[in-house]
């Protein structure tokens, strides 16, 4: 029986390299569709937890994972030789930026090298790590082919960008459409067949480059529009206009407008990073992505604007930021998740400390917050805490906070998310 048949009837053994926010939910959906899944990660801690059926990802319920592990449908290991047991392998590892904002493909290359010695003829490899157009064929393909198998002849290779939105109660792995582009048409067909087993809608495109660019377009679109709102926020403040009210009014138009909102800065694993992949790659073609880079600059400056507004708010209460104790309320990059990647709270805290302020925080989703190698003190939202600090900066609007108590007790609150729009009083300052 060929790979196409095994993928179609669910008998194919699937591998997932990288068991984080992308890889683990994907492995679970594969197993729920009846596939036996071998999960690979370099973290022995993750492997131990998964082997015990314990989830460390909020979007993956432990009871669901426990059942799949108990049934033998998910096996987790650090032993990459077990790639040889699989019919298809999906690579889901991070692709961060380095200090110069160039793509860091180290994790991706390492993952490809780890699987290469154990690939066998007829296998399918797909890459889900977000990156610049050309990466699949220019970086990953040569590594895989160094093992002796040729893509399009002995081996199938495709790119399918992850579209994970942590904490989204509606769109998760299975019901979020999957874009797939292969090196050859046969590669695309096999990848579509695999994903169609456990993803509701699969969208084939003509090439790996088209699939890679699709993910960048999605997040550059959001980055640019958020930057626009962040700029309009600042000019509206000078004009005495409530930009949040303006957006709410504009979104009543049933066509030609999509609401985006300002905020303290971008966070997460995609929007703050993805635009720079394209900016970096564009230089190879003597093209400068001025529009994209300008949007990145506007968004990166938002933590500075937040701290400036904080100093103005303290000044109206005859206080200086130097020597003040500031409570950051919510430090995850978005509400109701535990993800700290690229969170604007990190830069805001650094800036406050750099100006002589003391920082404490409250976030029940984030048990540890490190700045400059030092832990930030976590506090409970007691009456003594709220009345004892000099200011509160609401960075992330988690649902499990008693905002009424915060407004009632804190001396001044800078609201960067418009979470306190229903509360009045002179103590609330809107970003």
In this predicted structure, the answer to whether residue 141 has a pLDDT above a threshold of 90 is: yes
In this predicted structure, the answer to whether residue 296 has a pLDDT above a threshold of 80 is: yes
Average pLDDT in the chain = 94
Sort 79 into a burial class: Cβ within 10 Å, 0-12 / 13-18 / 19+: exposed
Q: State how far the alpha carbon of 379 is from the alpha carbons of 191, 332, 373, 385, in Å.
A: 48, 15, 19, 7
Q: 271 with 339, same domain?
A: no
In this predicted structure, the answer to whether residue 158 has a pLDDT above a threshold of 90 is: yes
Strand order across the beta sheet in which 377-378 lies: 377-378, 358-362, 325-329, 391-394, 413-415, 428-430
Mean pLDDT of 164-187: 94
CA distance 412 to 313: 7
Give the structural domain span for 235: 215-299
Q: 178 with 311, same domain?
A: no
Q: Which of 92, 187, 223, 270 is catalytic?
A: 270
Q: 368 with 225, same domain?
A: no
Q: 253 with 237, same domain?
A: yes
Coil/strand/helix, residue 345 = helix
Query: Is 270 a catalytic site residue?
Result: yes
CA distance 399 to 291: 35
Give the pLDDT confidence score for residue 236 in this predicted structure.
97
Q: 245 with 328, same domain?
A: no
CATH number of the structural domain spanning residue 271: 1.10.1040.10
105 is written with which tokens? Answer: 């493909």
Mean pLDDT of 309-328: 96
CATH number of the structural domain spanning residue 105: 3.40.50.720
pTM exceeds 0.95 for this model:
no
CA distance 204 to 181: 6
Considering the domain boundaries, does residue 120 fall inside one? yes
Q: 269 with 358, same domain?
A: no
Q: 193 with 145, same domain?
A: yes
Considering the domain boundaries, does residue 370 fall inside one? yes
Number of domains within the chain? 3
Q: 184 with 291, same domain?
A: no
Q: 271 with 186, same domain?
A: no
> pLDDT tens for residues 50-95?
999 999 998 899 999 999 999 999 999 999 999 999 999 999 999 8
């Amino acid at each position: 029986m060929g790979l196409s048949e095994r993928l179609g009837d669910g008998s194919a053994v699937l591998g997932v390299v990288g068991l984080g926010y992308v890889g683990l939910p994907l492995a679970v959906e594969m197993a729920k569709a009846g596939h036996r899944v071998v999960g690979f990660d370099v973290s022995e801690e993750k492997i131990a937890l998964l082997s015990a059926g314990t989830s460390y990802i909020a979007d993956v319920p432990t009871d669901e994972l426990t059942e799949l592990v108990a049934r033998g449908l998910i096996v987790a290991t650090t032993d990459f030789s077990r790639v040889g047991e699989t019919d298809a392998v999906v690579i889901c590892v991070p692709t961060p930026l380095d200090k110069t904002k160039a793509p860091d493909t180290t994790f991706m290359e390492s993952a490809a090298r780890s699987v290469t010695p154990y690939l066998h003829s007829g296998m399918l490899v797909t890459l889900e790590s977000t990156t610049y157009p050309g990466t699949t064929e220019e970086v990953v393909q040569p590594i895989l082919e160094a093992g002796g198998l040729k893509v399009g002849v002995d081996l199938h290779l495709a790119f399918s960008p992850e579209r994970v939105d942590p904490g989204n109660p509606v769109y998760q792995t299975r019901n979020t459409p999957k874009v797939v582009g292969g090196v050859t048409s046969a590669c695309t067909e096999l990848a579509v067949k695999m994903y169609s087993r456990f993803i509701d809608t699969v969208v084939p495109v003509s090439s790996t480059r088209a699939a890679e660019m699709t993910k960048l377009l999605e997040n550059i679109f959001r980055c640019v529009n958020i930057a626009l709102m962040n700029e309009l926020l600042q000019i509206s403040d000078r004009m005495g206009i409530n930009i949040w009210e303006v957006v709410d009014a504009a979104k009543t138009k049933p066509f030609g407008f999509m609401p985006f909102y300002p905020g303290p800065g971008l966070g997460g694993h995609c929007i703050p990073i993805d635009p720079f992949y394209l900016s970096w790659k564009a230089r190879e073609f003597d093209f400068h992505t001025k529009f994209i880079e300008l949007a990145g600059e506007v968004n990166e400056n938002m933590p500075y604007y937040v701290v400036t507004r904080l100093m103005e708010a303290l000044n109206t209460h005859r206080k200086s930021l130097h020597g003040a104790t500031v409570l950051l309320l919510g430090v995850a990059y978005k509400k109701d998740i535990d993800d700290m990647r690229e969170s604007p709270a990190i830069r805001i805290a650094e800036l406050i400390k750099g100006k002589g302020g003391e920082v404490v925080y409250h976030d029940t989703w984030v048990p540890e917050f490190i700045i400059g190698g030092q832990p930030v003190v976590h506090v409970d939202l007691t009456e003594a805490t709220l009345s004892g600090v000099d200011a509160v900066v609401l960075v992330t609007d988690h649902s499990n906070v008693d905002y009424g108590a915060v407004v009632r007790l804190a001396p001044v609150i800078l609201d960067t998310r418009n979470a306190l729009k229903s509360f009045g009083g002179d103590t609330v300052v809107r970003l």
